[in-house]
Amino acid sequence: MSYTKFKKDLEQGKKGERHVANFLKKQRQADKVSTAFAGKSHDFVLIYKDGREEAFETKTDFFAGTKSQNVYLEYQCSEKPSGLTATKSDFWSILIPARQIILVFCPKRMWNCLQESKFKKVRGGDRKATCGFLVPIEDFKKLEFVEVFETNTRLTNA
């Protein structure tokens, strides 16, 4: 992947994070959104009037709903825990611009579900260094612990 493409993808991912943070703040009636300390452990935190905090990691998936009808959930990279198995976030959110939806779930519950599932394990990413599960979007939406929100975003990977 070229550096220019990487920078563009990163910029689009940041736009997706901002969209999801503002959308979920309203949907979950949070008092505010914090991106302080955002980075490796989370992308944003919803803070509520009662002092509760929920940390979110957000993925913007431009392939899902266009080039693929699946969501890829990474759990390992270069033989080390990553993605679902390494996250410190309370929740993950996946923005699928082609479908105009946001999927929200607890990563620990998802990991437990995937280990006992029929979903296909595949290698992916640059140099096929990651391992993950391919979950059809329609099956993903039916999982009892997944919240599905319709959204309106003009975000594209063009």
Question: pLDDT digits over 52-75, tens only?
Answer: 999 999 999 999 989 999 999 999
32-34 and 70-77 beta bridge pairing: unpaired
What average pLDDT does range 100-126 have in this prediction?
A: 95
Domain hosting 13: range is 3-150
Any domain includes 156: no
- What local confidence, expressed as pLDDT, does residue 77 receive? 95
Any domain includes 155: no
User: Is the pTM for the entire model greater than 0.75?
Assistant: yes
**pLDDT score of 105 more than 70:** yes
Among 58-62, 83-87, 132-136, 154-158, where is mean pLDDT lowest?
Answer: 154-158
Any domain includes 158: no
Any domain includes 141: yes
Residue 78: CATH number of its domain: 3.40.1350
Q: Provide the percentage of residues in the chain whose pLDDT is more than 70.
A: 97
**pLDDT score of 158 more than 60:** no
Any domain includes 118: yes
**pLDDT score of 3 more than 90:** no
How many domains does the structure of the chain reveal?
A: 1
Any domain includes 53: yes
Provide the 10 A C-beta neighbour count for residue 113.
18
